[in-house]
Structure 1
Amino acid sequence: MTRTAIFDLDGTLADTSGDLIAAANACFEADGHAPPLDPVAHMAVAFAGGRAMLRKGYQILHGTAQEADVDRHYPGLLAFYGENIDRHTRLYPGVEACLDDLAQAGWRLGVCTNKPEGLAEDLLQRLGLRSRFASMIGADTLPVRKPDAAPLLAAVERAGGQADRSVLIGDTITDRDAARAAGLPCVLVSFGPEGRAVERLQPQALLDHYDALPALLDQLVPAA
């Protein structure tokens, strides 16, 4: 029976935080402010999304954030990010070799991300990964996004898999909750923004390096 591995994108396959932070800071610079967000100190905020970064920046600058300001800058943030999507982004070590190993072992591969679909498609193409995935579900592909189960289950179905033979690899509580809602085991990476602190979320497994993922997935979803 077919086995399916669905991957989150930001913080799981690639460290996109540098380009995300740069896009948010560009919005504040356009208003005459010095960039308030630091690529290292605010990495976790970057993976929480564009609106979260804007709120954090306003809190740093003014002590509070107004949703009207967040709404005003959000389209500009997306535009800047789309034009500069891969300047600082890097795949995590071992990703490409791992995907090759999984494909050779017969796994179907897909992506389920809360990044807008168009941006996710563009980034995967630029990183040279898009052809490796049989499915790609973004934040706006369906009316709902993770942690709802529907996007994850759609990624499995479009990859040609079955939910009871699938697993999600992610990096946040959003991924953990989506996997639970869909009834899938969840692997959380320990090299994302939270490090090994994600262990508190009690995933089925932690991943320290992509070299270990094929054997780990064999334990979670044994070959028939």
Structure 2
Amino acid sequence: MACINPRNTDVKAPLVVFDLDGTMIDTHADLIESLNHTITSAGLTPVTYEDLTHLVGQGARVMIRRAFDLKNTPLSEDELEPLFDRFIAHYKAGMPGKSRPYPGLTACFDRLKAAGMTIAVCTNKQETLALPLLEGLGLTGHFAAITGGDTFEFRKPDGRHIFGTIEKAGGDPARSIMIGDSVNDILAAHNAKIPSVAVSFGYSDVPVADLNPTTIIDGFDELTPELVLRLIEAQ
């Protein structure tokens, strides 16, 4: 197993930054349920799982607006805010609901940490939703930092979201990689000029190979310390 030399105190531990929805956690059932709870109150017909890839990725407000666009229904800013509040209240009340980690996630964490690596979360989900979700699933203690779409004045695909996460986690951009499932994750990694790993099982609305990630994995058993070090050393 790859391992970091503890005597080399000048070199920071490799940092693996994970997206949340569709990458670490399969949240689709709860997102769809809360979104339909929200939009049907405004007279829209429900969305389906097949619609989800076109809706997620930029937070709840954008998801609601995209749902209205999908239904060819106009939505004003004044109408959006109460719908946003309705979504947040419903989604938060049900946490963690049906959301579950993807297979092999915690074993992957254990492997990375045993090799001396650090783990962080960089998600466009609001902190007020990301933190209780991770807490409810018993995952919070794994992470050196958790940043959401409202942590900074910028968010993915802005590379500064990743940089801010790396700083909070005590990492070094030159020794960091990004794991994600969507264009926002991979583009943010490109903008931050760090390697990216796309998961093939998330919510991307296009084949993840089209996003030009550094590499693709089909399951967390493939995310090994050796792969992380190889990607970092190839920068």
**TM-score normalised to the size of structure 1?**
0.90
CA RMSD of aligned residues (A): 2.0
Q: State the Cα distance separating 1:17 from its structure 2 match.
A: 1.4
2:169 to 159, 162, 166: 159
Q: Is the 8 A contact 2:14 2:118 kept in 1?
A: yes
More deviation, 94-103/212-221: 212-221
Q: State the Cα distance separating 1:67 from its structure 2 match.
A: 2.9
Aligned AA (1:13): M
State the match for 2:3 in structure 1: none
State the match for 2:90 in structure 1: 80
1:12 pairs with 2:23: yes
Deviations 1:140-184 (A, max 9, x none): 111111111222112112222111011000111111111112111
Q: 1:26 to 1:195 in 2, by over 3 A?
A: closer
Q: List alignment gaps of at least 5 residues for structure 2.
A: 1-10
More deviation, 81-90/67-76: 67-76
State the match for 1:217 in structure 2: 228
State the match for 2:101 in structure 1: 91
State the match for 2:208 in structure 1: 198
Q: Is the 8 A contact 1:26 1:35 kept in 2?
A: no
**1:20-169 maps to which residues of 2 (within 5 A)?**
20-31=31-42, 33=43, 35-38=45-48, 40-48=49-57, 49-59=59-69, 61=71, 63-68=72-77, 69-169=79-179
Q: State the Cα distance separating 1:28 from its structure 2 match.
A: 2.8
Question: Identity over aligned residues, as a percent?
Answer: 36
Q: Is the 8 A contact 2:163 2:192 kept in 1?
A: yes
Q: 1:102 to 1:70 in 2, by over 3 A?
A: same
Deviations 1:88-113 (A, max 9, x none): 21111100000010000011110011
Separation in 2 of the partners of 1:55 and 1:157? 32
Q: List alignment gaps of at least 5 residues for structure 1.
A: none
Separation in 1 of the partners of 2:175 and 2:229? 11
> What SS class does the counterpart of residue 53 from structure 2 fall into?
helix
Dislocated runs of 4+, deviation >2 Å: 28-31, 45-61, 67-72
